[in-house]
Amino acid sequence: MLTINQLLKNSRKNKKRSQYSVIKTKPQIKGICVKIFTRTPKKPNSALRKIAKIRLKNKKEVLAYIPGEGYALQDHNFVLIRKGRVQDLPGIKYKIIRGALDATGVLKRK
């Protein structure tokens, strides 16, 4: 808690909140896969979710979810990512677009 004199000298400042600061106004952005791994979801769910660490063309690195069953992604593959968070994976705000660039579509999808 601040004293009255401290508040008079320096008033309280509002925190800045950033939303999808990596993509900004673009619908998709291109990147290269750096690492592919799995992660377990939050408490009531249990599975192995597939995640890729991606270095974007603006030199920033983000984590993106690989949707669908199975994947054929490897290191140094080019992918397109879009906005969209995964509910049971905290901190993951992007998804890889399947069927674009080196990310193949889901096989035998009906």
Structural domains in the chain, CATH included, are: 23-109 (2.40.50.140)
Beta strands of 1-110 (E only): which ranges?
28-39, 49-56, 61-65, 78-83, 94-96
**CA atoms of 71 and 95, how far apart (whole Å):** 13
Dihedral over Cα of 37, 59, 92, 15: its sign: positive
The per-residue pLDDT for 19 is 60
Residues 33, 51, 92, 24: what is their CA dihedral angle, to the nearest 10 degrees? 30
Give the pLDDT of the chain (110 residues) as one tens digit per residue: 889 999 999 988 888 876 656 777 888 899 999 999 998 999 998 989 999 999 988 888 899 999 988 788 888 989 999 888 888 999 898 999 988 888 888 888 87
